[in-house]
Chains A and B, each alone.
Chain A
Amino acid sequence: MNQQPVLKIVDLRKKYGTTEILKGVSLELKKGETKVIIGPSGTGKSTLLLCINRLVEPDSGKVFLEGEEITPKNVHRMRQKIGFVFQDFNLFNHLTALDNVRIGLIKVQKIRKAEATEIAMEQLKKVGLADKAHLYPSQLSGGQKQRVAIARALATRPKVILFDEPTSALDPELIGEVLSVMVDLAKSGMTMLVVTHELGFARSVADEIVFMENGVIVEQGTPSEIFTNPKTERTRQFLRRLTELYGEERK
């Protein structure tokens, strides 16, 4: 049957000055689907994510969440349904882990404190940090910070979560804990759009891999298609380079 996509991006374009960062990107995510975007730095992957919930205003193009277009007018409401996990965490430094997770519930969704606390604690438990609820960001490791950030994104019960290189700012030994939370999340049926260089994660979790370069989607397909039989030489080259750099698999 023809299921409506959770997230639909149509011909998104963005220029910074005269540099064209996004040259017309279209993409769809079905419910429960995990798509991984790979590609060289500076090709517009992060800009694409930021344009989806208009943290960066796109020049043209449309984004639909469950069939409803995201516009400057409804953007505050729509953003509550789109989780966003940043490369450098962006936890609110003056708030405890618990407050970071529940502030959106209390201040934005106006949920009563007791109930918000319950929801927040549940999310912290999910990422394995219930015992760190009362610590401040500067008292947490990088991996823990990112897990709190994921809990924060989850708290508002989003329809889709966007991950912008969630492990790129982490020490190598801390990457695993964040990836394992993301794997669990994907398996639990969350719809996810992930920009990452973690090929192991892409291979084991992604329903589809999207290779982006110079502001366009060069190729997309299932992990086995992309990894074993890429259609373009450029994709093959990029994957070889990345594999040499990061290693084939990371468990």
Chain B
Amino acid sequence: MSFAEVFIQAIPKLLNGLLVTFYMTAFAAIFGLVFGTILCVWRVYANRLVSLVSTGFIELIRGTPMLVQLFILYYGLPVYGIRLSPLIAALIGFTMNSAAYQAEYIRGAIHSIGSGQMRAALAIGMGKWQAVRSIILPQALRLVIPAWTNEFIYLLKYTSMAYIIGAPEMMAQAKFIASRNFEFFKVYLITAFIYLTVVWIASFFFSWLERKLRIPGTVVGER
């Protein structure tokens, strides 16, 4: 089969898969941000017990391979009667994973903001949580955008692991097509190219977002 033939044959299925890939990535990135922010704020500002629980969760997730986490969710939980569909298992796995990593990115950003901002907020009469909400997070979340770009790109590629537990994302589609027409090289090359294109577009989007949200007067990253 020529390249063009393989392309025409494969592309509808691959794009279907891409949709699932993209959906999983966006879901994990967004909910990962939400849960990551909560985990981080708990770790840094909450009382000792909550902070310890949050730290424990983050370290547990970061210290184990994502594949193992996916296997536990998909193959392990049914032992206890909890049966998840491949897609749901993958969504939960990726979200938990991303939340743990994002919590650490945000923690780094909070530390770089410095304790003076918190002090000044308390000094005008704000409560701790109000200060976190209106003073610390608006700054930390801006600082975290470059790391977030990386996280999104990682996620986009890591979601390919979901094919192992049978989630119908792009890699699963590629494997399915290739096992039928035996054009492994061409199919996977086309798949790689699609990943590359999407990563590219995402990078452009996030660097635009970073510029747009930049605090006027700061020139971080200016060249």
**Cα distance, A138 to B220, chains bound together (Å):** 12
Q: What mask results when residues 60 to 89 of chain B are scored 1 for a CB within 8 Å of chain A, else 0?
A: 000000000000000000000000000000
Q: Is the CB of A76 within 8 A of B116?
A: no
Q: Which of B115-147 contact A (CB under 8 A)?
A: 116-117, 119-127, 130, 134-135, 138-139, 142
Q: Which of A13-52 contact B (CB under 8 A)?
A: none
Q: Is the CB of B119 within 8 A of A86?
A: yes
| Any B CB within 8 A of the CB of A139 | yes
| Any B CB within 8 A of the CB of A11 | no
- Chain B residues with CB under 8 Å of chain A are 113, 116-117, 119-127, 130, 134-135, 138-139, 142, 215-218
User: Which residues of A sit under 8 angstroms from B119, Cβ to Cβ?
Assistant: 55, 86, 90
Q: Is the CB of A103 within 8 A of B124?
A: yes
**Which one of A93, A103, A109, A152 has the greatest number of beta carbons of chain B within 10 Å?**
A93
**Cα distance, A108 to B129, chains bound together (Å):** 12
**Cα distance, A135 to B125, chains bound together (Å):** 24
Count of inter-chain pairs, beta carbons less than 8 A: 73
Neighbour of B125 across the interface among A76, A93, A136, CB < 8 A: A76
Q: Is the CB of B125 within 8 A of A79?
A: yes
Q: Is the CB of A94 within 8 A of B125?
A: no
User: Which residues of B sit under 8 angstroms from A109, Cβ to Cβ?
Assistant: 125
A119 to chain B, nearest CB (A): 13
Which chain B residue has the least Cβ–Cβ distance from A96? Answer: B216
Neighbour of B139 across the interface among A76, A94, A153, CB < 8 A: A94
| 12 additional A-B residue pairs with CB within 8 Å, beyond A55-B122, A136-B216, A136-B218 | A55-B119, A82-B123, A84-B123, A90-B117, A92-B117, A92-B121, A93-B215, A94-B135, A94-B138, A108-B124, A136-B215, A139-B217
Q: Is the CB of A138 within 8 A of B120?
A: no
B132 to chain A, nearest CB (A): 12
| Given contact pairs A86-B119, A94-B138, A103-B134, A80 touches B125 in the complex (Cβ within 8 A) | yes
Interface size, chain A (Cβ < 8 Å): 28
| Any B CB within 8 A of the CB of A88 | yes
**Cα distance, A152 to B126, chains bound together (Å):** 13
Chain B binding surface SS class:
helix
**Cα distance, A44 to B100, chains bound together (Å):** 40
**Which one of B113, B120, B127 has the greatest number of beta carbons of chain A within 10 Å?**
B120
Neighbour of B116 across the interface among A88, A108, A135, A136, CB < 8 A: A88
| Given contact pairs A88-B116, A92-B117, A92-B135, A53 touches B123 in the complex (Cβ within 8 A) | yes
Q: What mask results when residues 62 to 104 of chain A are scored 1 for a CB within 8 Å of chain B, else 0?
A: 0000000000000011011010101010111110000000011
| Any B CB within 8 A of the CB of A107 | yes
| Given contact pairs A90-B116, A92-B117, A79 touches B124 in the complex (Cβ within 8 A) | yes
| Any B CB within 8 A of the CB of A137 | yes
Q: Is the CB of A86 within 8 A of B116?
A: yes
Q: What mask results when residues 199 to 219 of chain A are scored 1 for a CB within 8 Å of chain B, else 0?
A: 000000000000000000000
Closest 7 CB pairs of A and B: A138-B217, A90-B120, A80-B125, A104-B124, A139-B217, A84-B123, A90-B116
**Cα distance, A152 to B217, chains bound together (Å):** 20
Q: Is the CB of B120 within 8 A of A156?
A: no
| Given contact pairs A135-B217, A136-B217, A138-B215, A104 touches B126 in the complex (Cβ within 8 A) | yes
**Cα distance, A90 to B124, chains bound together (Å):** 12
| Given contact pairs A55-B119, A86-B116, A139 touches B126 in the complex (Cβ within 8 A) | no
User: Which residues of A sit under 8 angstroms from B215, Cβ to Cβ?
Assistant: 93-94, 136, 138
User: Which residues of B sit under 8 angstroms from A88, Cβ to Cβ?
Assistant: 116
Neighbour of B126 across the interface among A82, A94, A108, CB < 8 A: A108
